[in-house]
Amino acid sequence: MKSYEVNFDGLVGPTHNYGGLSYGNVASQSNSQQSSNPKEAALQGLAKMKALMDMGFQQGVLAPQERPDVAALRRLGFSGTDAQVIERAAKEAMPLLVASCSASSMWVANAATVSPSADTADGRVHFTAANLNCKYHRSIEHPTTSRVLGAMFANQQHFAHHAALPAVVQFGDEGAANHTRFCREYGEAGVEFFVFGRSAFDNRFPAPQKYPARQTLEASQAVARLHGLRDEGVVYAQQNPNVIDQGVFHNDVIAVGNGEVLFYHEDAFLETDKMLAELQGKLAKVGGNFQSVCVPRSAVTVDDAVRSYLFNSQLLSRPDGSMLLIVPQECQANERVWAYLQSLTSSGGLIREVKVFDLKQSMQNGGGPACLRLRVALNETELAAVNPGVIMTAPLYGSLTAWVEKHYRDRLSETDLADPQLLLECRTALDELTQILKLGAVYPFQIN
C-alpha cells in the first residue's frame, strides 16, 4: 500500500504579535514589542503550503486557536462581560492579556507527538497533544489542539488520541519539535527518536544553566508508552545543555531527520557516537540504512544555526529518492550558512536542492519552516479517513487567502490587543474558518 508523509501546517491566527513571551527563544526576546503584520504572516504561511502542494507533496492545514483566550483570563480571576474581562486584564495585568492573545498555536510542530500506525502496538496512528508546560501562553493551547486534531482525524478505527501529559514541569512535553522518525518507507515500521533536554527524576543527566530545558526524558518515555512503541523502535538522546543555553530551545532548531537521514549540528547532542550507533542498529533491524549528515561547527556555528534556522528546515523526500531542503530566507542572508548549503547540494549526497521561503513574520518569533508543520505519516487508507476539509487543494488555498484578506489586520501592536473589537473580529473569522475547513464546533466560543 502507498504511504505518505503529510505536512499539516499551522495557519497563523489573526492575533499574531510579538509579545516577548519565550525566555530562551532568542528571536522572541529580541523582537519583543515590535508591531506585527498578521495578514502578511498568514499569507507567508499559506504560500509555503501552496508551493509544497504544487511540488507534489501531500499538504494539510491546521486551524489556529481562539485568541484572546477569554476563558483563560476568567480562570485567572477576571470577570464581567467578555469585553470587561479584556479591559480589566489590560488595565491590571497587561502581560497576562498579551499571553492570552498569542498566536503561538501556529507552531504546530509543538501541537502533538505523532506515531504512525506501522510503529504502534494497536496498528493505529497515535497522537498525544503536547502540554507545552514551560510557557504559560503555550500551556493553554492543548485543550483546543485536542479538539482540532480530533475533528481532523475523526476515525477511531485508524486514529487514537491521547490527552496531554500531566501539566507539571516534570512532564514538560513540546511535541514533535523533539521527535523525529526514521524509516525506509513511511508505511513501514521505523525508529522513533525522542530528544530530551533534561531528566526530571534522575540527576545524573546534566541540565542547562541559563535557559530552561523544555522537554523531559520522562515525558518522552510516557508518550512512547502511550503510543505502544516497541523498545526496539525507540531511541532516546539528550540535547547538549550548552546549546540550549545558546538559544536552542527545541531540538528542531539544531537537527532535522527524514527517511533514513539525520541532518544535525556537531554540537547538537550528548554522547553523539553512541546515539548514532543505536539509531543505525535499530534502523537496520527494520531493513533501513541509517545515514547522518553532520554540520561541523567550523562551517556553521551554533549561533549561525540559531540566527539562520538552518536546521529548522523541512527535509523532504522526492520520488527519485533524493531530498529537498526547505529553508527560511535567513539562511541565504547568512554567508557561512549559505556557503555550506551550496557545498552540501553539490557534494553528490542525498540532499540535492534547497528552496528558500520568506517566513519573516513567524521567524521573528522563533518559528521557521519546520515549526510551522506537523508531520503525519499515513497510508492510503488512513489518508482517505482524514477529514477532507483540511487537505490543501487549489480551491482551498483560494478560499483561505480570501478569508485572510477579509478578516486580518495588517498591523498589530500591544495596545491593539486591549481592543475588545479584536475579539469579535477573531471570533467572526474563526467561525467562518470552521465552515471552510469543515471542522464543526471546536472553539470555546462555539461550544459554551
Contacting residues toward ligand SUG, per CB under 6 A = 18-22, 25, 28, 102, 104, 107, 109-110, 138, 177, 249-250, 252-253, 365-367, 371
Query: At which residue does the C-alpha cell 518522552 appear?
Result: 220
169 HSE (CA, 13 A, CB side): 9
CA distance 334 to 300: 10
Query: At which residue does the C-alpha cell 504559560 appear?
Result: 136
Candidates 192, 371, 382, 407; catalytic one: 371
Min CB(43)–ligand SUG separation in Å: 19
Closest CA to 143 of 442, 439, 440: 442
Q: Whose Cβ is closer to ligand SUG: residue 233's or residue 366's?
A: 366
Candidates 137, 250, 265, 407; catalytic one: 250
End-to-end CA distance of the chain: 42
CA distance 188 to 288: 10
Min CB(371)–ligand SUG separation in Å: 3
Q: What is the DSSP string of 343-370?
A: HHHTTTSSEEEEEEE--HHHHTTT--TT
Q: Whose Cβ is closer to ligand SUG: residue 15's or residue 117's?
A: 15
Q: Whose Cβ is closer to ligand SUG: residue 243's or residue 371's?
A: 371
CA distance 243 to 301: 11
The yes-or-no answer on residue 271 being catalytic is: no
CB atoms within 10 A of CB 441: 13
19-23 contacts: CB < 8 A, separation 24 or more? Answer: 19/98, 19/99, 19/101, 19/102, 19/137, 19/414, 21/98, 21/99, 21/102, 21/104, 21/135, 21/136, 21/137, 22/135, 22/249, 22/365, 22/366, 23/135, 23/211, 23/212
Q: Whose Cβ is closer to ligand SUG: residue 28's or residue 238's?
A: 28
Min CB(365)–ligand SUG separation in Å: 4
Candidates 5, 174, 278, 330; catalytic one: 174
Three-state SS at 419: coil
Phi, psi of 258 (to 5 degrees): -165, 145
Q: Whose Cβ is closer to ligand SUG: residue 100's or residue 365's?
A: 365
Min CB(66)–ligand SUG separation in Å: 17
The yes-or-no answer on residue 137 being catalytic is: no
Min CB(11)–ligand SUG separation in Å: 15
Sign of the Cα pseudo-torsion (165, 166, 167, 172, in order): negative
Q: Whose Cβ is closer to ligand SUG: residue 21's or residue 276's?
A: 21
Q: Which three cell numbers stand for residue 306?
A: 540559531
152-162 in b/e form (b: 16+ CB < 10 A) is bbeeeebbbbb
Sign of the Cα pseudo-torsion (360, 364, 365, 368, in order): positive
Min CB(38)–ligand SUG separation in Å: 12
The yes-or-no answer on residue 174 being catalytic is: yes
Min CB(342)–ligand SUG separation in Å: 25
Q: Whose Cβ is closer to ligand SUG: residue 22's or residue 317's?
A: 22
Q: Which residues are catalytic?
A: 174, 250, 371
